[in-house]
């Protein structure tokens, strides 16, 4: 979190729940079957539980999940589960209270862990913890995160540090690569590969021998999994992004608010799919860091 905070989007510029539901319903008829709500922080938006319930009622949506910073999770976990949420991702980059406060600018570490425990108690499963590994910031906690899986049924996912947003001073020297992370994890115990299924996305899955939980490795920078990428992102202000590392966006809010039909929405989806790049351009002369912060894109 930048020290100065992030710019807020005026309420009238963000999609209403009704608009999002319409988009999902239309896109679901074209084969979209998995929806994940991300942020910013989705639990701060009024009416989120009721919105999740309506999403869960769309017949074609077979997998519904949410990514959260975990601060409000203890209060919401029961209602989220009841509304139809199946699983949850929690962004957590440190297991040390002081460092957590340094990264997030908030002293809420204990609240996050209380939320994780409550999510487990109410039966949200799996619970995935996303750790962005940054050299010189939290790289000394790689093993500490992994040992959580020995005794807890958590999925710890290591994600390479990605270049996005005006406020981030991304340098390649900050990049802790997945091969280096994996080598360090192998010092804890044997890593047993877990076959991927269609819902896994880009993560390579492993289990430390004898562990209750799992480990996921996401090499967004060093591994070009672009040809297998099955994701589109809908931004809060109504744009479809086909790639995290591209600033090209396809506007659907304008279509919704000027009387566009469901068929128009389907055609806009096909435009987006045709524009999905074959691969990102990091490490090439053509690469230009995307200008939106991750909180405005949805991770």
Provide the CATH number for the domain around residue 80.
3.20.20.70
Confidence of residue 111 (pLDDT cuts 50, 70, 90): very high
Q: Is residue 230 part of a domain?
A: yes
5 in any annotated domain: no
Residue 71 is assigned to a structural domain of this protein: yes
Please indicate, yes or no, if residue 166 is contained in any of the structural domains. yes
Number of CB atoms found within 10 A of residue 129's CB: 25
Name the residue among 149, 291, 280 with its Cα closest to residue 202. 280
27, 58, 162, 270 from 264: Cα distances, Å = 11, 20, 34, 10
Task: Name the token pair of 109.
Answer: 């570490």
Does residue 272 lie in a domain region?
yes
Total domains present in the chain: 1
Q: Among 79-93, 105-119, 210-224, name the one with the lowest average pLDDT.
A: 210-224
- Which residues constitute the domain of residue 185? 11-297
Beta bridge partners of 103: none
Percent of the chain with pLDDT over 70: 86
Is it the case that residue 108 has pLDDT exceeding 90? yes
99 φψ region: left (φ > 0), alpha (ψ -120 to 50), beta (else): alpha
Residue 263 domain-assigned? yes
Per-residue pLDDT tens digits for 249-284? 999 999 999 999 999 999 999 999 888 876 655 555
pLDDT tens for 39-85 read 879 999 999 999 999 999 999 999 999 999 999 999 999 999 999 99
Residue 194 lies in a domain: yes
Q: Residue 251 has which token pair?
A: 């506007």
């Amino acid at each position: 979190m930048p020290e100065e905070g992030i710019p807020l989007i005026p309420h009238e510029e963000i999609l209403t729940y009704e608009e999002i539901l319409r988009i999902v319903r239309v896109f679901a008829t074209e084969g979209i079957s998995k929806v994940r709500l991300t942020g910013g922080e989705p639990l701060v938006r009024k009416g989120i539980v009721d919105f999740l319930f309506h999403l869960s009622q769309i017949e074609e949506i077979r997998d519904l999940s949410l990514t959260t910073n975990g601060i409000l999770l203890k209060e919401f976990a029961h209602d989220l589960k009841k509304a139809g949420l199946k699983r949850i991702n929690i962004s957590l980059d440190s297991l040390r209270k002081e460092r957590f406060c340094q990264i997030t600018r908030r002293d809420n570490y204990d609240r996050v862990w209380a939320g994780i425990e409550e999510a487990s108690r109410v039966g949200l499963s799996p619970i995935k913890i996303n750790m962005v590994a940054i050299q010189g910031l939290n790289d000394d906690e790689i093993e500490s995160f992994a040992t959580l899986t020995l005794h807890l049924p958590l999925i710890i996912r290591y994600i390479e540090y990605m270049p996005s947003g005006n406020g981030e001073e991304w340098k390649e020297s900050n990049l802790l690569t997945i091969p280096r992370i994996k080598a360090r994890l192998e010092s804890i115990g044997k890593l047993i590969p877990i076959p991927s299924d269609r819902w896994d996305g880009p993560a390579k899955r492993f289990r430390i021998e004898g562990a209750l939980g799992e480990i996921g490795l996401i090499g967004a920078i060093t591994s070009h999994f672009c040809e297998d990428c099955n994701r589109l992102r809908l931004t809060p202000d109504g744009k479809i992004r086909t790639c995290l590392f591209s600033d090209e966006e396809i506007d659907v809010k304008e279509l919704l608010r000027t009387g566009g039909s469901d068929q128009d929405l389907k055609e806009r989806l096909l435009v987006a799919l045709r524009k999905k790049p074959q691969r990102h351009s990091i490490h090439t002369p053509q690469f230009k860091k995307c200008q939106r912060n991750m909180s405005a894109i949805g991770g």
